[in-house]
Amino acid sequence: MNRIVIVTAAVLVDPDRRILIAKRPTGKSLAGLWEFPGGKLEPGESPEQALIRELDEELGITVREPCLAPLTFASHAYEKFHLLMPVYVCRRWEGVPQAKEHAELAWVNRMKLGDYPMPPADLPLISVIQDQV
Burial (Cβ within 10 Å: 0-12, 13-18, ≥19) of residue 16: exposed
What are the structural domains, with CATH classification, of the chain?
4-132 (3.90.79.10)
What is the predicted pLDDT for the residue at 6?
96
What is the predicted pLDDT for the residue at 28?
86
**Which 3 state secondary structure label does DSSP give 95?**
coil
Q: For the chain, which ranges sit under pLDDT 70? A: 1
What is the predicted pLDDT for the residue at 1?
64
What is the predicted pLDDT for the residue at 29?
86
pTM of the model as a whole = 0.94
Residue of 102, 108, 115, 98 lying closest to 133 (CA atoms): 108
What is the predicted pLDDT for the residue at 94?
98
What is the predicted pLDDT for the residue at 2?
84
Helix (H) or strand (E) holding 14: none
What is the predicted pLDDT for the residue at 123?
94
The 10 Å CB-count burial string (b at 16+, else e) for 67-87 is bbeebbbbeeeeeeeebbbbb
Helix (H) or strand (E) holding 18: strand 18-23
